[in-house]
Structure 1
């Protein structure tokens, strides 16, 4: 059984976005939440011991390194790698940016943020990939919480440098508190949509699952 471990959000759009991802997987999949929503990941795994857990997370912070593995061990489940740093994530972010109207004259790659060592490496990886795609534009990272610089600070820096068509490339999975922060940021030309329901993310999740499934079946 494939179980997606997601953060969870009270925003109605979050559940709908995750549901579209599950539909794109085209195989039996359950969703367990780490916060806010139900069912919890622990509840799902208690009913499906031995499942394969794919963390639907873009960073390598507390949830990915501590929380999810601890819950999975209780129910003899296998946890795959997360999604951070994968080229498919950068491509999905880039395509969403193009759908939002293109890069403008400067790009801010906006991630959730983390205080954990390496917790923002995924956002930095996307920033590097978008810099390669747009070598003549400034492409910089920024964060919604727990890391610096903040998104408003980055936008203010770029505007002070004379840029006026600043676009935010959203390195987030689903609508929620952080996407609202991005949409309310002043002085930007466009904000791209989150990426959980992008087909590239579905393909990456399936690849994660298939990478450990032979080991699970042989156990």
Structure 2
């Protein structure tokens, strides 16, 4: 099998590594291959250090902003001999299912019932960078019938998460839950605790559907024409 590298942003949060470790455990249990995690920032190994010849690189990102479209391709092109870059996770129904499950968990943990949801995404100023969040919100609405879902951003775009929560409060909603459209703990997830919601859902990376999606991305990229396995590895 070709090496499997997960390209992640990286976080200074001590719980981020544990979240990604659970993701890697789940991928290995499903597919018999353990990913290597390569970081763009904050942690080691870097993405460049994690690459090996003919690796399949899966961007563990929920949007198509600068990191997915510029940073990661540049590293792979510059350091990865024979490497293949897979698609990110943006826009996939599996993400909406994970968001729904996390919202339900947050409701139960806080003892509230959501009558409105704010989907909190990282945010991007790059054209198309927020499309994944918008698609996820639309898909989540279909999974939560009758519950309005509003998109908000932790940076680089508007409205902010506190602004979106406040608008829903002003509209008369008494049970507002933040659906965390983020993968691992970090400064953005810490900030959500003070956004004014009744409950904040956990990030998504260690949800089983995210592990299955990352594995599918790996397998599809490895089968891509021009990226076939060497005969001895088939």
TM-score, normalized by the shorter chain, greater than 0.5: yes
Q: CA deviation at 1:163?
A: 1.3
Q: CA deviation at 1:43?
A: 1.2
Residue in structure 2 matched with residue 113 of structure 1 by the alignment = 123
| Count of aligned pairs | 216
Q: Which moved more, 1:96-105 or 1:80-89?
A: 96-105
TM-score normalised by length of structure 2: 0.89
Unaligned runs of 5+ in 2: none
Instruction: State the distance in 1 between where 2:175 and 2:46 align.
Output: 41
Q: Which moved more, 1:10-19 or 1:130-139?
A: 130-139
Residue in structure 1 matched with residue 211 of structure 2 by the alignment = 202
* Local SS of the residue matching 1:101: helix
Residue in structure 2 matched with residue 7 of structure 1 by the alignment = 9
The answer to whether structure 1 residue 44 and structure 2 residue 59 are counterparts is no
Given that 2:19 and 2:206 are in contact with CA atoms closer than 8 Å, whether structure 1 keeps it comes out as: yes
Q: CA deviation at 1:29?
A: 1.6
Residue in structure 2 matched with residue 158 of structure 1 by the alignment = 168
Instruction: State the distance in 1 between where 2:34 and 2:159 align.
Output: 40
Q: CA deviation at 1:218?
A: 4.6
Q: CA deviation at 1:217?
A: 2.9
| RMSD value, Cα | 1.3
Q: CA deviation at 1:191?
A: 0.6
1:142 corresponds to which of 143, 149, 152: 152
TM-score normalised by length of structure 1: 0.95
1:67 corresponds to which of 64, 71, 91: 71
The answer to whether structure 1 residue 191 and structure 2 residue 200 are counterparts is yes
